[in-house]
Amino acid sequence: MKQAATLATQLAAVARILARVAAGRSLADEMGRLEPAALASRGALIDLTHGTLRRYGRVQAIVASLSRRGRPDALVEALLWCALYSLESGRYSEHTVVDEAVKACGLLELWPAKGYINAVLRGFLRQRGALEAQLANEPEARYQHPGWWIELVQRAYPNDWQAALAAGNTHPPMALRVNRRRVSAETYQARLAEQGIATRRRAEEALLLERPLSVEHLPGFADGDVSVQDIGAQRAAYCLDLAPGQRVLDACAAPGGKTSHLLELADVAVTALDVDATRVARIAAALDRLGLRAEVRHADATSPETWWDGRAFDRILADAPCTASGIVRRRPDIKWLRRASDLARFAQQQHILLSALWRVLAPGGKLLYATCSIFPEENDAVVARLIESERDARQLPLPDGARAQWLPDDEHDGFYYALIEKRT
């Protein structure tokens, strides 16, 4: 078993993070607040936070079942959640996790809870078999998603809902996009093989790594030979039907992965917008690393009067803000933060975005609507509303010939695409 000299410290740090996430804070924001001293163990903290948050419903149900004194204090409960994940991860011996969780109580100044933490964790180890039978009958614990989420996915995908939910609880795959302006996919794949890095070729410039690894170990990454981008996200550039000389707008461009892919595929003039000033800087950094150029602007795509120069665009990529339900394994706090009521709010924002962008699309031009959602309320329903409201809009088949909605699986995340033409 792995030694755990710092497990108590990690459990304490993660418990603080999880308690704030459960109260409504973003995991990314909380990780960004880590003290410099904690950065040395960032990898372990990511494993603990992500692993625990993926178990929505399960860890909550276990604590509720074993607690004899009602729901515990939020910080105590969060400590139990991540201790339960540690027990089930197999990385540490059972007695080590229990002892380190009790020690973490002291680090969190929760001294009166030491006996309670010890009792709940040991109760879990004694009653694991009976608990598993109980959890199998509780949908949120079994499928590890909120109940409303389970119902929506089940209704939308009656034949695939269980696989879609299961994929949302897994570690995500890692895919690469080879920069064709610098090297061919075949050549780069061979370079990786020479270094013992196994990949599978997937569509055009896409390589799927057999095992994730740090970008520092990717040859030529710093020189712009390759980028990390999910295979589902790579569909966007191929579905936009690009041609040399076109004016292209990437309306919600940060962090720049799709923007740079457009420029790698075709000699087009790209304007990249994002409403978040901090994320705009990430677009520029991505382009610089790849040796590409675009007009990058901090602007709100829903307000063209503040940034548009009056020249229509031939192509528009609208990668709209959404629930991110298709990438929940990468952002597991989404399962804890989203509410069923969010779908209507996002759908309205998406309609506002598409309506604004329709004004700056040239006649005969094409707009690609994209989300990383698997909820039809944000996808087909939004496209249908646009086509109903804009008489010159018509939906086209996607150029890659694939279906509009991809559900997450072991090779890619969940993405939706719809190509809409502005008839002349």
First to last CA, the chain: 67
Tell me how far apart the alpha carbons of residues 44 and 40 are, in angstroms, rounded to a whole number.
9
Q: How far apart are CA 24 and CA 334, in angstroms?
A: 10
Neighbouring residues of 402: CB distance < 8 A, sequence distance ≥ 6: 235
Angle of the 257-265 helix axis to the 231-239 helix axis, nearest 10: 50
State yes or no: is 372 an active-site residue: yes
Distant-in-sequence, close-in-space partners of 338: CB < 8 Å, separation ≥ 6: 146, 149, 323, 325
> Token pair of 316, please?
């528009």
Question: Distance (Å, rounded) from C-alpha 221 to C-alpha 244?
Answer: 27
CA atoms within 13 A on the CB side of 122: 10
Among candidates 205, 285, 311, 295, which has minimal Cα distance to 251? 295
Spot the catalytic one: 105, 239, 322, 372.
Answer: 372
Per-residue DSSP letter, 218: S
Contacts (Cβ under 8 Å, ≥6 apart) of 367:
315, 316, 317, 318, 354, 357, 358, 361, 419, 420, 421, 422
Q: Is the dihedral of CA 131, 133, 139, 143 positive or negative?
A: positive
Please identify every residue annotated as catalytic: 372
